[in-house]
Structure 1
Amino acid sequence: MDGIPLTTLNDGRSIPRFGLGVYHVPPDRTARVVATALELGYRHVDTAQGYGNEAQVGEGLRASGVSREDVWITTKLDDGRHGDPRAALAESLERLGTDHVDLFLIHRPGDRDVDTWRALLDLRDDGAARSVGVSNFSRRGIRALVDATGVVPAVHQIRANPRTPHRAMQAFHRRHGIATEAWGPLREGRLTTHPTARRVAARVGATPAQVLLRWHLDRGLIAFPKSASPERLAENIGVARVRLAPRDLRAIDRMRRRP
């Protein structure tokens, strides 16, 4: 994806900082959405076992004609599978039609997180998951994993956007070398209709969604907005052409609800 920055993770691998999320994309539409996105230039797809559309993500990848090695695929461990991550990932790989995922996350904390994290580290060492991380954890929960294993997650996926940036968590990530992924970067109420987003968009000749997504990228976040519309998919990847000045970034920063 020309114009899409990369982030180097703490394990040395490079992840595209922009991609496609397929949360709540119906399975009967997912393959077409993924294929369309890849044809438009997306090279990062974020799914989960709990989304029920992994098989269709794999179908869309194959239909696109894009090489598997050129696409970053993330999936997440279902809440009910914390006791057997290896078997759960094997099932995901079969559904996706691949021998590995690029990133495997614990989707949500459970009651045996350290054991689950150790299992993910084994899967990373075996090559079934090339990078591993967590999602929706607390700082205390991440510290427990690191204290027990000495291994810092490569990624923490959280809700983060200009209205609720979770600055303390992002600062924690920076201190520990954890990449921040922002789920639902446009899902916060009225983000795209906010006067600041509209004003910046008019100034730079982009759409409000594009300037908000560019804010994520320029602030070092990894973002993957969801859409099933070909027009919106094309609009979102247009973020690669958007350039924001420091004053634009500062204006969007001020959209936050709390300091």
Structure 2
Amino acid sequence: MEERKMKYYTLNNDVKIPAIGYGTYLTSPRVTEQEVAQALKVGYRLIDTAQNYGNEREVGAAVRNSGINREEIFVTSKTQTSGYRSTKAGIDTSLKAAGLDYFDLMIIHWPNGNDLDTYRALEDAYHEGKLRAIGLSNFNHQQVQEIINNSEVVPAVDQIETHLLWQQWGMHEYLQEHGILHESWAPLGEGTGHILSNPTLVRIGQQYGKSPAQVMLRFYVQENILAIPKSTNPEHLKANLDIFDFELSDQDIADIQNEDRRQAGGWPSTMLIERNY
């Protein structure tokens, strides 16, 4: 991929973030460094990890050994903790494990019952320069609003389950209203509902010489949704980035939106995300 073709979003604190990233959920630490190194080699510049994944050390090693300037790689991690003290300590532990001076983004992985104190720890680490941006994951609009109402720093992103069958337009509208970037996890459905054989995506893809996955990822780009697809297949890795040489029409967008079923993939707690609208 030619670097100039990558689209970037601007977060609400003016930090730039690539529109397509690489996810490491369920990637074994044993192969993480190799897989991330491969992703960086083909052009990915956003790597998503988490304390819960147990592979921050290997992600950091791949970043450090890539030969790419650190400033060009955007690294996201997620907290596994609840409350101020454990979260603050966990950030330092994660940075040490990854061998990095800072994370570009740290988000609360799940609502945990002590979200205000947990988020306050992120705010303090942000002010200390350990985090370039902070945000949330799997928070519904009431939970996001509570953070906004009781915090100094507005979250930069909310990372939520989003795919063809659950497009999250209620949350998307809410997040846009508050200047918060909508980030999709499971953007290609992770096997949910045969998304990659969906007739609408297949038909649209045939018009442009693109795969259903490329059509869906292009859809996110045009709708200002950050996606973090995961693949260990080198050809799929490259193909997921090859989406900047075509543009979906308004009718294509409408047809894809019409496939929304508000159907979650069955992962824990995801049914709490959708906003009533």
Same fold by TM-score greater than 0.5 = yes
> Which amino acid counterpart does residue 223 of structure 2 have in structure 1?
R
Q: Structure 2 length as normaliser, TM-score? A: 0.89
Moved more, 142-151 or 33-42: 142-151
Q: Which amino acid aligns with 2:218?
A: R
Matched, 1:205 2:209: yes
Determine the C-alpha separation between the residues in 2 that align with 1:64 and 1:171.
Answer: 37
Correspondent of 1:110 among 104, 109, 112 = 112
Query: C-alpha deviations, 1:109-135, integer Å up to 9, x for none?
Result: 112111111111111000001100000
Q: Is the 8 A contact 1:161 1:216 kept in 2?
A: no
2:140 to 138, 141, 149: 138
Matched, 1:216 2:220: yes
Paired residue secondary structure (1:228): coil
Match of residue 164 from structure 2: 162
Decide whether aligned partners of structure 1 residues 82 and 240 sit closer, same or farther in structure 2, where only a CA change above 3 A counts.
farther
Query: Structure 1 residue 247 and structure 2 residue 246: aligned?
Result: no
TM-fit CA distance, 1:82? 6.0
Query: Which 5+ residue runs of structure 1 have no aligned equivalent?
Result: none
Other-structure match for 1:25: 27
Q: Which is worse superposed, 60-69 or 135-144? A: 60-69
Counterpart position of 1:151: 153
Deviation by residue 1:76-115 (Cα, 9 ceiling, x = unmatched): 0014676422210111111211100000000001121111
Matched position secondary structure for 1:75:
strand
Moved more, 154-163 or 243-252: 243-252
- The answer to whether structure 1 residue 229 and structure 2 residue 259 are counterparts is no
The aligned residue for residue 54 of structure 1 is 56
Partner-residue secondary structure (3-state), 1:239? coil
- Which residue is 1:98 aligned to? 100
For residues 145 and 83 of structure 2, the distance between their equivalents in structure 1, rounded to whole angstroms, comes to 22
Q: Deviations over 1:192-211 (max 9, x none)?
A: 10000100111111111111
Cα deviation digits, residues 40-83 of structure 1 (max 9, x gap): 11100011000111111112223321111100000000146764
Q: When the two structures are aligned, how many residues end up with a matched partner?
A: 259
2: CA distance, partners of 1:81 / 1:49 = 15
1:183 offset after TM fit, Å?
A: 0.5
What's the counterpart of residue 121 of structure 2? 119
> What's the CA shift for 1:243?
2.5
After TM superposition, the structure 1 stretch with the greater mean CA deviation from structure 2, 144-153 or 181-190, is: 144-153
1:172 to 174, 187, 191: 174
Q: Is 2:70 the counterpart of 1:78?
A: no
TM-score between the two structures when normalised by the length of structure 1: 0.95
C-alpha contact 2:85 2:121 (8 A) present in aligned 1:
no
